[in-house]
Amino acid sequence: MGFASRPHDDAAAPGQTGAELPLPPRPRRSLWTILALLALAALVVASFVTLDLQWRDLFSAQGLGAMAQFVRGFFPPETGPVFLWLTARAALETLAMSLLGTALAAVGGLALALLASAATTQTRGQRGWRSGRSALRGLALAILNLLRAVPELIWAVLLLIAAGLGPMAGTLALALHTSGVLGRLFAQSLESAAPDVAQALRLRGVGALQTFAWATWPQIAPQLLSYTLYRWENNIRAATVLGIVGAGGLGQMLSYHLGLFHMRETGTVLLAMLLLVAVVDGSSFAIRRVMAR
């Protein structure tokens, strides 16, 4: 005589439909969450009222016709050999600015992230030593906030005063702002790394540098590279804008020819910008796909 097994409490009995199963409790909505959403909605409405956006003028027949006439001036683009050569040189200069600026930012951001991360500044020891590490962490966080709070365009204007016109100011402007962005992202990656392996190595007497190289770095390296590639995509766009203030590259050509209403030349520069951005985005996507395998 067999014994029927007792069904689990959380399993549906034979013939019981899924609709009869008890539903999970509805998550409680915090009063602060509701108030924050209402405040955000009020800010959006206030923004529309304050800005007094002229949507009717933008989409009027006169406005659309003026934009279409302006765009038609770009065609046919200038395709003279000399101008194409100058455009290619400016595109390479813009690419070099974005690459070097991103590389410098990755190094500087990692250095600041190591100082700003709680995972690397927490230590046991004398109270004075712990206070010094906390002060150093606070200083690094303040530097990161300052670097990313100031836009690349403002950094470029400040550096143009010291370095003069050319790609150096644009490269350093990209490096400074991107250091703040990447440094903050890198610090968060350091804090989210699993500490088990690092703690085991410390218990065995392994030094801090070796522990970071063997335990922490393998965990965060793919994420750090992904962040860096993403910022490179942004910097190739930012580098074209920085040229407008005299920082070299395609942006400087765009500012010059558009200011003189050389519309065909401006069209060629704009097409070069689009092509350069597409190439960089495609390269970054391909690298990330290889990393994901």
The residue segments making up the domain with residue 269 are 77-292
Q: Is residue 41 part of a domain?
A: no
- The DSSP output letter for 293 is -
How much of the chain exceeds pLDDT 70, in percent?
85
> Whole-angstrom Cα distance, residue 63 to residue 290?
46
The Cα 230–Cα 289 span in angstroms is 13
Residue pLDDT, tens place only, 55-66 = 787 788 888 888
* Mean pLDDT of the 25-41 span: 82
- Dihedral of CA 260/265/271/277: which sign? negative
- Closest to 248 (Cα-Cα) out of 170, 152, 154, 177: 170
Cα separation, 157 vs 173, in Å, equals: 9
Q: Which residues contact 136 (CB under 8 A, 6 or more apart)?
A: 115, 121
Residue 200 lies in a domain: yes
- pLDDT, position 6: 46
- Asked whether residue 251 is assigned to any structural domain, the reply reads yes
Residues 192-227: pLDDT tens digits? 887 777 778 777 777 777 877 787 888 888 889 999
Q: Classify residue 183 as exposed, middle or buried by CB count within 10 Å of its CB (0-12, 13-18, 19+).
A: buried
Give the pLDDT score at 187.
92
CA 177 to chain centre: 10
The pair of three-digit structure tokens given for residue 27, joined into one six-digit string: 């998550």
Q: Angle at CA 115, nearest 5°, toward 132 and 172?
A: 130
Domain assignment of residue 208, yes or no: yes
Both ends of the chain: CA-CA distance in Å?
56
Q: Give the CATH number of the domain where residue 155 resides.
A: 1.10.3720.10
Burial tier of 225 (Cβ tally within 10 Å: 0-12, 13-18, 19+): middle
- Residue 268's pLDDT is 95
Determine, yes or no, domain membership for 213: yes
Name the domain count of the chain: 1
Per-residue confidence band for 89, with pLDDT thresholds at 50, 70 and 90: very high
- Whether 4 maps to a domain, the answer reads no
* Average of per-residue pLDDT across 263-282: 92
C-alpha torsion angle, residues 144, 147, 148, 154 (rounded to 10): 170
54 belongs to a structural domain: no
Q: Does some domain include residue 49? A: no
Question: What is the average pLDDT value for the chain, to the nearest integer?
Answer: 83
Residue 167: asked if its preceding bond is cis (omega within 30°), the reply is: no
pLDDT in the model for residue 20: 61
Residue 15 has pLDDT above 60, yes or no: no
The per-residue pLDDT for range 113-155, each reduced to its tens digit, is 998 887 665 555 455 556 677 788 889 999 999 999 999 989 9
